[in-house]
Amino acid sequence: MQLWEPTCRDIATWLTEKPCAQDQLLLIGASAGWMMSSAFLCGFRQVIAYDIDPLAAPLFRWRHGQALAASGTALVCRRGDALNNLAEVLREHRQALVLFDNVLGQIRFHHPDVDEASHRIASIRRRLRGRHWGSIHDAYSGPVRTPISRRAHTPMMRSVQPPYPTAGARKRGDQEAPQRAAFAAFGSQLDADGAWLDHLTGDLFPPGTHVSHIAWPHLDDYCHWLQAGWVEPK
C-alpha cells in the first residue's frame, strides 16, 4: 500500500473538485474503498455504494464506517451489477451525484471484442446525459523502466485542459500537436517502457471536460495511468 500513497493523495485532491453540492453520492464499483477519501465521503448525507464482490461491503465499512458514523453520513452498501442495471440504478437515485470508482477501465476485459467494449463504454456515457457524474478509471497500463521504489520522486498528477486526445481522434489520425505533447510529457514522467494497454476510455468524457491524469504504480515495475474527470449536464 505504500506505493499507492501518492496516488491516494492525488485522488483525494481531485475529489474535492466535485461540481456540485449534493446530499447523496451513488458510488459504483466501490470495492473496499482502498483509494477513496473518507473526508470526501463524509461530505454527503448518504453514500450508496454498489459492488458485485460479497467482500466489498464489509471491507468498505471497516475502512470508512467509523469516519462516516462520526460525520452522520448514512452508508448503504448494495451487492449488485450496477453497470448492467445502470438505467434502473440511476432512476432509483435521481438526485445523487454519480461516481464510477475505477470500474469503467475494466470494461474491455469483460468483452473479448474491442469494438464491443468501446460501444459499451459509449452507451454508459449516453445513459448519463443530464446527470452530474464523475469517473476515475484506467486509461492505459504497462511496464516502466525504473522501479518506483528506486525513484527519488514518484510521478505527480498532471492536469490536462480540454481538448485532450480521444480514442476517436487517434483512429482518425488527427491529433493536434499540443495534445500529443501533453500525453508524451506524462508518459515520460511515468518512464513508460514497451507497449501499454489501451483501456478504451479515451472517448468516455464529453468534449470540453477537464481531465486530471494520475499515476498509479500498481506494482513496483508496472504502472496504471488513471484519468479522472467530473461532468456537468449541459
Q: Does 168 have pLDDT greater than 50?
A: no
* DSSP-assigned states of every residue in the chain: -GGGHHHHHHHHHHHTT-SS--SEEEEET-TT-TT--HHHHTTSSEEEEEES-TTHHHHHHHHHHHHHHHHT-EEEEEES-TTTTHHHHHHHTTTSEEEEES-GGGHHHH-SSHHHHHHHHHHHHHHTTTS-EEEEEEEEEEEBSS-GGG-SSPPPPEEEPSS---HHHHHHT---HHHHHHHHHHHHHHTB-S--EE-S-TTSSPTT--EEEEEEEEETTEEEEEEEEEE---
Q: What is the pLDDT of residues 35-64, one digit of tens each?
A: 899 999 999 999 999 999 999 999 999 999
Confidence band, pLDDT 50/70/90 cuts, at residue 152:
low
Confidence band, pLDDT 50/70/90 cuts, at residue 172:
very low
Q: Does 72 have pLDDT greater than 50?
A: yes
33-47, 115-129, 156-170, 194-208: which has the minimum mean pLDDT? Answer: 156-170
- Overall average pLDDT of the 4-24 stretch: 88
- Overall average pLDDT of the 182-186 stretch: 64
Confidence band, pLDDT 50/70/90 cuts, at residue 184:
low
Q: What is the pLDDT of residues 76-121, one digit of tens each?
A: 999 999 999 999 999 999 999 999 999 999 998 888 788 888 899 9
Q: Does 170 have pLDDT greater than 50?
A: no
Q: Does 166 have pLDDT greater than 50?
A: no
Mean of the per-residue pLDDT values for the chain? 84
More confident residue, 175 or 221: 221
Q: Does 163 have pLDDT greater than 70?
A: no
In this prediction, residue 30 carries a pLDDT of: 87
Confidence band, pLDDT 50/70/90 cuts, at residue 175:
very low
